[in-house]
Amino acid sequence: MRAPLFIRALLSLVVLLNTTVVPQSLSTPEAEIQTRIRQEAMNNSQIMRTLHYFTDVYGPRLTGSPNHEAAAKWAVKQMAAWGLANAHLEPWNFGHDGWSNERTSAFIVAPIKETLSCEVLAWTPGTNGTISASVVQLTLPENPNKEALDNYFAAQADKVKGKIALIGKHQIPMVRFAPNNLRMDDQMLAQRMAGGGFGGRPGGGNRGGSDGQAPPPGTLTTAQVAEALDAFLIKSGAVLRVNDGGREHRQIRAFNNRSFDPKKALPTVIVSNEDYGRITRILSNKEFGSTPVELEFNIVNRFHPEGKTSYNTIAEIPGTDKADEVIMLGGHLDSWHAATGATDNAIGCAMMMEAARILQSLIQAGGVK
C-alpha cells in the first residue's frame, strides 16, 4: 500500500553495497557463483526470522515511535552480526513528536451492548479516561465552498456539544464479482480520482463532481474541509469523532491527523463499516422514534517528543576494485500503526537485508570479491 502524500518523509532501511560479484579468476565461472547464491538463499534463508522480528517482536513502526526506533536498532545489530560494515543509525529531522496508541476499548452501551471494531487515528489525543456519550451524525454538504460549509456548521453547532460525532453517511463498499484489474486504463483512473473515500478521512481523491468534472470555483479541498471540520468539532464541544471505515470484511485503514497537533483534533477513531452502519441504522429507526445511541471509549495515546529525530538504518559491504561505485538496496522500515506492517513494508526490508546477507556470506566464505 502506498502511504498518503501527507507523510513527507519515508524512513528507509538502506543497505549500501559498493561491491561487484565477479569471478575471482577464470576458473570460477559465473554460473558457479549464481548456484552458490541460490543455495545460500534456499538453505539458510533468514527472511522469515527478520520478518518475525519486525512484525511480531516490534510490531507497528510508526515514524518517530519507540517501536520504530527499537526495530531500527535491532536491524543495525543484526546486519553487524552478519558481517556488514559500518552498521549504524543515521538521524534525520522528522519534525513532529512521535506517537503511539497503547490501549483502545470501544463499545455500544445503549440501546444494545456490543463491542466495536475500530482503530485510532494517529497523532490524535486520547480520551483521558473512559468517556460515554450519545451520538450525533453529521453529513457534510458535497463539494462545499466556505460559505456553504460555515452555514452547515452554524446549523449543527448546538447539536454536537458533549456528543460523539459520526462523520458522514454509511458507505456501501463496492461489490466485486471479478478479480481486480492488474492495470488501470485512463478512464478507470479518472473515475477513481473523481470521488470515493477511504478510512480516516471524509472524501478522497480530487474533490470533483461525481461525473469527474472540475468542481466549481471556490470549492474547498479535502484538506480544507477536514481542517475546518476538526476546528468546528473542538469549538462546539464534541468529545470524540468517529469515521466510517468504508471497507468490506471489517477492514480498516487508519492514517493520521494531518496537522500532527493534538490541540487541533479530537480523539478520533475509524470504526468498521459494519459497525458504523449498524449505529446509523439504529439512529434512523423512525419506528421507535429515532432511537438514541450511546457509545463508550477509553483511548490511551502517547506522544514522544524525542521522536522529532528519526533514523535511517545503514550498513555497507565495502568494495575493492570498484570501490568508487555504489549499489543501493533499500526499503522503508516505518509502517502505519493499525497493523504490524508486514506488507508495508517489513517484507521489502527483509528481502533487501537478505540480499545483502547472502552476498556478505559468499565474500566471507571466500572465492567471491
Reply yes or no on whether the pLDDT at 2 is more than 70.
no
Report the percentage of the chain scoring pLDDT > 90.
72
Sign of CA dihedral 239, 245, 249, 250: negative
DSSP 48: H
Reply yes or no on whether the pLDDT at 369 is more than 60.
no
Which CATH number goes with the domain that contains 170? 3.50.30.30
Q: At which residue does the C-alpha cell 538453505 appear? A: 43
Sign of CA dihedral 155, 132, 134, 285: positive
Domain that holds residue 349: 12-96+306-365
Q: CB neighbours (10 Å) of residue 152?
A: 16
Per-residue pLDDT tens digits for 288-318: 667 789 999 999 999 999 999 999 999 999 9
The domain tally of the chain equals 2
Per-residue pLDDT tens digits for 223-245: 999 999 999 999 999 999 999 99
Q: At which residue does the C-alpha cell 522469515 appear? A: 48
Backbone angles phi, psi at 322, to 5 degrees: -120, 45
Q: Is position 201 within any domain?
A: yes
Verify that 65 and 128 share a domain, yes or no. no
> Cα separations (Å) of 19 from 5, 214, 239, 319, 324?
34, 51, 57, 4, 9
The stretch 147-175 carries a mean pLDDT of: 96
pLDDT on residue 28: 60
User: Where is pLDDT greater, at 324 or 65?
Assistant: 65
Compute the distance between CA of residue 145 and CA of residue 23 in angstroms, rounded to an integer.
Answer: 67
Which distant-in-sequence residues (6+ apart) come within 8 Å of 264 by Cβ? 227, 230, 231, 234, 257
Verify that 277 and 319 share a domain, yes or no. no
Q: CB neighbours (10 Å) of residue 349?
A: 28
pTM, two decimals, is 0.83
Which CATH number goes with the domain that contains 48? 3.40.630.10
Verify that 245 and 341 share a domain, yes or no. no
Q: What is the dihedral of CA 81, 337, 224, 283, to 10 degrees?
A: 170
